[in-house]
Amino acid sequence: MSFKSAFSLLELVLTLLLLGILLSFGIPNIFNYNKSVCNKALQLQILNLKIALKNELKTNQTINIESLYKHLDMSKSSCYFEKQKGGFIGINEDKKVFFKLKNNILECEHTKSSKLHNSESFCDIF
């Protein structure tokens, strides 16, 4: 008589339960990580734009905002910039922030959709 080793039903249920618990903590962190990466990408592009703006101010008295757009990712995705009249909008999925050039200074304006989960504005990270 030979016995075959196998998992009991209790072992399988406990394994699936533990796996479910671990995934319930891990999946939201993946989504938050993606939003954080997008925020960092937008911040880096704004920093590059500010540096280009500063360099252009050294050489010219007037700024052409169109020439600064080359520093921004304008291709539509979940994380990109979009041209608007008088400036541009940074978009991170459902969060939007509006930037405009006023007196040769790049300003961030608060919008209704720019509130973060901790009641700060999306402008605060820029």
Closest by Cα among 95, 97, 120 to 108 = 97
SS3 of residue 109 by DSSP:
strand
Write down the residue that tokens 């008589």 correspond to: 1
Tell me the average pLDDT across 97-110.
Answer: 81
Q: Is 2 buried (19+), middle (13-18) or exposed (0-12) by CB count in 10 A? A: exposed
Closest by Cα among 110, 53, 44, 120 to 81 = 44
Q: How do residues 81-92 score in pLDDT, each as one tens digit?
A: 988 887 888 888
The pTM assigned to this predicted structure is 0.66
Q: Kindly state the percentage of the chain with pLDDT values over 90.
A: 9
What distance in Å separates the CA atoms of residue 51 and residue 34, rounded to the nearest whole number? Answer: 26
Q: Where are the domains of the chain?
A: 10-125
pLDDT of residue 26: 77
pLDDT of residue 108: 83
Calculate the alpha carbon distances from 95 to 31, 40, 84, 124 in Å.
14, 14, 16, 13
pLDDT of residue 102: 82
Calculate the alpha carbon distances from 104 to 55, 56, 112, 126 in Å.
12, 10, 25, 17
Calculate the alpha carbon distances from 58 to 44, 46, 54, 80, 99 in Å.
21, 18, 6, 28, 21
